[in-house]
Amino acid sequence: MKKLVIIVISLMAFVSCKNETKQEEVPTKVETSKIDVVSVSGRQLMVNDEFYLIKGICYHPVPKGDSTQRDFGTLTQDLKLMVEAGINTIRVYSPIEEEHVLDEINKAGLKVIIGFGYNQGGKNDIVSGSFVDYINRFKNHNAILMWELGNEYNYHPEWFDGDIKNWYTAMNDAASLIHKNDPSHPVTTAHGDLPKEPARSMSPNIDVWGMNVYRSVRPETIFKEWKEVSDKPMYLSETGSDSYMQIATDKYEQGVNEQAQADATAIILKSTFKGQDICSGVTLFQFTDGWWKAGNNNVQDTGGTAPNSTGVPFDGSPNEEYWGIVDIDRNKKKVFDVVKEIYTSENKNN
């Protein structure tokens, strides 16, 4: 019996010693890297308590061909071009679900404005509430700059039972949910031009107002109008020009005209950055030509509206497939050098 007790005690001591050894070998948990804190202060967008000027681009890469689906197969090449151009922010119209894409964007030193749609069949959308799942998944990712709700929905009351106030209520409620789940990133929206009183009064939870502004080469005229009605930050979520002239003018020939696009963009960006006391920057529309926008996805179609019917520079006609600062094969257009010159100059000034 004594021998048995001794054996048991010895065995217990051995097991205890092995357990202690295992515990010592378990590495301590590595702390999660500190993420940048994005906030607002007065009219300014802040990152880690320093003013952040958005020098951005709208990004929806769809390759030529039959598909209309976004494809990040050229991401590495695209990011290299963006960095060269001085771009610090990417605006996307729907969530990026591939974590490695966000990782690569962050590694390149850029941030992302993630857009959510209202009704996307229950996938990361507002109506189902599934967008909150996405936010909780990625709210600690350092690539995130802001969460964005909707894109020009104020032009589409038919999507909300004919009453756009239904959208403003849904948008405000969604912004409230985001604040509860993620206090480290502001909520924005991409409103078509200047938000009118119902939009502003019904959406107090919007922290930063994005505005898609097409007023020929004078989008900065909205800054004074905004200052008179709101003390919140704003940025130009879309502006710019295409590289196809629907009609000839005294200065520009009809047809493909990269010089017209370059000239318009230079005027737009220079005037935008003069308004930094009101405007926190711009996400220029857009990075690459979108062959999927207006017809046969295998060719670059013209598809502009009647001349002088919109605020698109010089001809008033938006040709949706000609808006890139690079073409579909990533060849730089004349406007690329304009963006590079102005954005890199602002990099030095901020």
- On whether residue 86 sits in a domain, the answer given is yes
List all residues 6 or more positions away from 196 whose beta carbon is below 8 Å from its beta carbon. Answer: none
Q: Assign 3-class secondary structure to the chain.
A: CHHHHHHHHHHHHHHHHHHHHHHHHCCCCCCCCCCCCEEEECCEEEECCEECCEEEEECCCCCCCCCCCCCCCCHHHHHHHHHHCCCCEEEECCCCCCHHHHHHHHHCCCEEEEEECCCCCCCCCCCCCCHHHHHHHHCCCCCEEEEEEEECHHHCHHHHCCCCHHHHHHHHHHHHHHHHHCCCCCEEEEEECCCCHHHHHHCCCCCEEEEECCCCCCCCHHHHHHHHHCCCCEEEEECCCCCEECCCCCCCCCEECHHHHHHHHHHHHHHHHCCCCCEEEEEECCCECCCCCCCCCCCCCCCCCCCCCCCCCCCCCCCHHHCCCECCCCCECHHHHHHHHHHHHHHHHC
The label of the residue with tokens 């709208």 reads 58
The label of the residue with tokens 């047809």 reads 255
* pLDDT confidence bin for 155, thresholds 50/70/90: very high
49: which 2 tokens? 């308590």
- On whether residue 34 sits in a domain, the answer given is no
pLDDT of residue 64: 94
How many angstroms separate the CA atoms of 347 and 2, rounded? 81
Q: What is the mean pLDDT of residues 21-30?
A: 35
Buried-state track 331-347, b at ≥16 Cβ within 10 A, e below 16? ebbbbbebbbebbeebe
pLDDT of residue 350: 57
- Rounded to the nearest angstrom, the gap between the alpha carbon of residue 59 and the centroid of all alpha carbons in its chain is 8
Range of the domain at 296: 45-349
- On whether residue 12 sits in a domain, the answer given is no
For the stretch 240-286, pLDDT in tens is 999 999 999 999 999 999 999 999 999 999 999 999 999 999 999 99
pLDDT of residue 303: 83
- On whether residue 27 sits in a domain, the answer given is no
- On whether residue 30 sits in a domain, the answer given is no
Strand partners, 58: 91
* pLDDT confidence bin for 348, thresholds 50/70/90: low
Buried-state track 40-59, b at ≥16 Cβ within 10 A, e below 16? beebbbbeeeeebbbbbbbb
Q: What is the mean pLDDT of residues 129-138?
A: 98
β pairing state of 244-245 and 255-256? antiparallel
For the stretch 51-102, pLDDT in tens is 999 999 999 999 999 889 999 999 999 999 999 999 999 999 999 999 999 9
- On whether residue 8 sits in a domain, the answer given is no
* pLDDT confidence bin for 11, thresholds 50/70/90: very low
pLDDT of residue 33: 60
- On whether residue 208 sits in a domain, the answer given is yes
Sign of CA dihedral 283, 178, 170, 125: positive
Chain mean pLDDT for the chain = 91
List all residues 6 or more positions away from 167 whose beta carbon is below 8 Å from its beta carbon. Answer: 118, 150, 153, 154, 157, 159, 160
How many angstroms separate the CA atoms of 218 and 155, rounded? 21
Q: Flag whether pLDDT at 20 surpasses 90.
A: no
- Looking at the structure of the chain, the number of domains it has is 1
Sign of CA dihedral 347, 222, 204, 126: negative
CATH number of the domain where residue 254 is located:
3.20.20.80
For the stretch 111-120, pLDDT in tens is 999 999 999 9
- On whether residue 21 sits in a domain, the answer given is no
The label of the residue with tokens 């949910």 reads 177
